[in-house]
Structure 1
Amino acid sequence: MLLILLASACGAQGSGLADHLIFIGRRDGGYDIRLPRDEGPPITLSRNLPWDSFPVWSPDGSRIAFYSDRNFDIQDRNDNLDIFTINADGSGMTDLTPQPAHDAFPYWSPDGTRILFYSQRDGNGEVYVMKADGSDLQRLTTSPGVDIPFGWSPDGSHIGFISGRSGNLEIYTAAPDGTGVKRITKSKGNNYSPVWSPDGSRIAFESDRDGNHEVYVANADGSNPVNMSVRPLRDANPAWSPDGRHLAFVSERDGDPEIYVMNTQFSTLDRITSSPRDDGSPAWSPDGTRLAFVSNRDFDPNIYVVNADGSGPVRYTFEISIEVGPAWSPDGGRLAFEALRDGRRDVYVLGADGSGLVRLTNDVTPVAVAPGWAPSNTSD
């Protein structure tokens, strides 16, 4: 439950690999990472009982990082989470953090050589960084409160994290070696789901500082915070368009959670989804023409893709299960996601047109979570 709350606070990470979208789907009782194919069903990249999650593409789209409890020790009841990487075809799975405490929320550096992550290995939730092969581990934060990373600035010059060190959740940045810590938000409320703008000059985030959850944008140094949504009902989960000119977000302003897109000059607001149930987790395609999202409009949470103007919504997954966390590959050709199917939670990948599902993780032990793609020109 703690990690679910932390994931909500730090927000979801997008991804990017050649022409595909990875996603997480529930199948066979667990969550798997799946990848679509041009022909035939999607390929399961991970298979796990029950949990592979938080898939994140490497910048060059060749690998996916995720966290998993697949090293679950049924005798000792040790269900610790570790961070793994796997090739985009499902081969070469590697446990980068084989130690007994929880490790989660991996974020690739823009050059693909390092991974930022969350760990409880020293008795408290802190931010760490390691090389992409798991070596050269460094602890970046030390505080009595929980620190949770939310990623790298686009140029790799800073890392960002949420911290409870001041009593509420605030957003901080620091140099990649942990020095130069700067508090970005200063409010009496909590601040969630921060995301860097594509050029690194701004940070969008969700805050309840005014008594209601709203979407804010501030300069990357914390100056000039602006409430972008100003509504009496919840607005959440901001996601920058690739050109930095628009924000997608989830709003309950019309009675149930729907996805909206606003330009950053406040002059336009478009409702992208319209369904009698919940739509959320918007993720822009790398070219900015489409949005992947999660919807339970057909009762079970499944992955959908819609044009950026709201036209042409298409359902991509059809399981009686839970499919969440869509993440585009860097080249927009694939989607990764996590799925809870038949008691197993694994990482899957499918094509950008919804074809060619691949299950990436496949294990007989418990958990893999939230995949994401790796960067290009990666040196191992």
Structure 2
Amino acid sequence: MRTPALHTACLLGAAALLSGSPAALAAAAAKADVAFVSLRAGDAHIFVRDANGKEHQLTQGRTVNLQPTLSSAGKVAFVRLHDGRSSVYVADDPASPARKLTPSDSGTVETAPSWAPDGSAIAFFSLEPSTGAKRVMVQDLRANTLLSVPAPGDSLGPARPDWSADGQTIAFIGTDGDRRHQVWILSRNGQNLREVSSKTSRRGAAFFSLSPDGRSVAWIARERGRLPLMVTDLASGETRDVLAPHGGLSAEAPRWSPDGQWIAFAGSGLNPSDPRTEVFVVKADGSGLTNVSAHAGDDFDPRWTPEGRHIVFASLRSGTSLLYEVPIAGGETRSLAQHASHDMDHITRPALPR
């Protein structure tokens, strides 16, 4: 199973939602719509792409920068490696210098930042090297408070936490008592921690995505021979195999659409002799399965644009990992950039909370 490493989204139509004034259009163009890691400059640096499709290099110098995340306002958070440790940094826009999120003397290893859609908080994982303690952290940027929740097991991630659209529920991967990776749910205030996947998959869970309304979670079960796409209703605990009607199709990297009606994922296995992955969409009840990438190269790691009409995904079709965008309603797939290096670990700006 491929670990998702590459993603990017060119979010079209954002300027149309704003007023037509020159100032409003300039603000839309400056806003980061897509953030990703690129190796084109030699080191791993964060790049952002604005509403006009212009790319900006956010980080510079001999540094390693990974795991970008975006708020609905286009603010960027990412991880920077330094002195054998990693810390979360924040930049308000492509022109602003990045600043460290937590105190510089904290001494912890920080990974996997995830911005609440409204920009009010950042969730991330923290490791205390001296004790080995692992925690889910929530930095509230408005109240200037830092919430610390001990990890339920001995491991967190590696995928970043995922937020509901209202910013009140967080999902993440952590280990259970048998050291298997499972999906966990946590309220923003640190309460109501619970695990939701082991009753269905004792072998554990992989990729996951929390629905925008916070009522369901899509996740991938680690089963022998197939990786099914499961959807669990968090109120009832009822879980269904969304792809059961579609034969041997295995899934990875599920992502809910902004309206909660569709799930995009990278799938393989419909043809046992063809191991490549392609990008699909399907409704949560299993209907409407559609291959939206349909190419001879590997296509994977889909991300929805905030208006929900396009998907940005990574592909090896050019020989290196680059980013592409495809309209859901059908139409031409276009590349976001062509060069000989790699663009990876992409993320799109989330939709404004409804």
Residue matched to 1:133:
94
After TM superposition, list the pairs within 5 Å mapping 1:60-79 onto structure 2: 63-72=33-42
C-alpha distance in structure 2 between counterparts of 1:62 and 1:171, whole Å: 26
Letter in structure 2 aligned against 1:290: W
TM-score, normalised with respect to structure 2? 0.81
Letter in structure 1 aligned against 2:89: Y
Residue matched to 1:85:
48
After TM superposition, list the pairs within 5 Å mapping 1:1-380 onto structure 2: 17-18=11-12, 63-72=33-42, 80-87=43-50, 91-112=53-74, 114-121=75-82, 123-141=84-102, 142=104, 143-165=106-128, 166-167=131-132, 169-176=134-141, 180-192=145-157, 193=159, 194-211=161-178, 212-231=180-199, 232-252=202-222, 256-274=226-244, 275-276=247-248, 278-297=250-269, 298=271, 299-364=275-340, 366-374=341-349
Letter in structure 1 aligned against 2:347: G
Alpha-carbon deviation of 1:355?
2.2
**Does the 8 A contact of 2:292 with 2:328 survive in 1?**
no
Alpha-carbon deviation of 1:277?
5.3
Letter in structure 1 aligned against 2:227: P
**Does the 8 A contact of 1:213 with 1:235 survive in 2?**
yes
Alpha-carbon deviation of 1:213?
2.0
**Does the 8 A contact of 2:8 with 2:323 survive in 1?**
no
Alpha-carbon deviation of 1:210?
1.6
**Does the 8 A contact of 1:84 with 1:95 survive in 2?**
yes
- Structure with the bigger RCO (C-alpha within 8 Å, sep 6+) is 1
C-alpha distance in structure 2 between counterparts of 1:109 and 1:190, whole Å: 26
Letter in structure 1 aligned against 2:132: G
Cα deviation, 1:83-104, whole Å, max 9, x if unaligned, reads 1122466x42211112111112
Stretches of 4+ aligned residues off by more than 6 angstroms: 12-16, 58-62
C-alpha distance in structure 2 between counterparts of 1:137 and 1:93, whole Å: 17
**Does the 8 A contact of 2:230 with 2:241 survive in 1?**
yes
Alpha-carbon deviation of 1:354?
4.2
**Does the 8 A contact of 1:103 with 1:118 survive in 2?**
yes
Taking structure 1 as reference, are residues 322 and 110 closer, same or farther at Cα in structure 2, changes over 3 Å only? same
C-alpha distance in structure 2 between counterparts of 1:98 and 1:169, whole Å: 30
Mind listing any 5+ residue stretches in structure 1 that lack a counterpart? 21-57, 73-79
Cα deviation, 1:152-173, whole Å, max 9, x if unaligned, reads 2233221111122252543111
C-alpha distance in structure 2 between counterparts of 1:16 and 1:234, whole Å: 33
C-alpha distance in structure 1 between counterparts of 2:146 and 2:218, whole Å: 29
C-alpha distance in structure 2 between counterparts of 1:348 and 1:13, whole Å: 9
**Does the 8 A contact of 2:31 with 2:73 survive in 1?**
no
**Does the 8 A contact of 2:243 with 2:249 survive in 1?**
no
TM-score, normalised with respect to structure 1? 0.75
C-alpha distance in structure 2 between counterparts of 1:161 and 1:237, whole Å: 17
**Does the 8 A contact of 2:110 with 2:127 survive in 1?**
yes
Cα deviation, 1:89-141, whole Å, max 9, x if unaligned, reads 6x4221111211111222122322x2111111455211000122142321123
Alpha-carbon deviation of 1:146?
2.7
Letter in structure 2 aligned against 1:204: A
**Does the 8 A contact of 1:61 with 1:88 survive in 2?**
yes
Alpha-carbon deviation of 1:195?
1.3
C-alpha distance in structure 1 between counterparts of 2:213 and 2:140, whole Å: 25
Taking structure 1 as reference, are residues 120 and 265 closer, same or farther at Cα in structure 2, changes over 3 Å only? same
**Does the 8 A contact of 1:61 with 1:376 survive in 2?**
no
Alpha-carbon deviation of 1:259?
0.6
**Does the 8 A contact of 1:100 with 1:121 survive in 2?**
no
Letter in structure 1 aligned against 2:343: A
Cα deviation, 1:234-278, whole Å, max 9, x if unaligned, reads 123331222222111111357521111111112432211134353
**Does the 8 A contact of 1:152 with 1:159 survive in 2?**
yes
Letter in structure 2 aligned against 1:313: L
Mind listing any 5+ residue stretches in structure 2 that lack a counterpart? 15-27
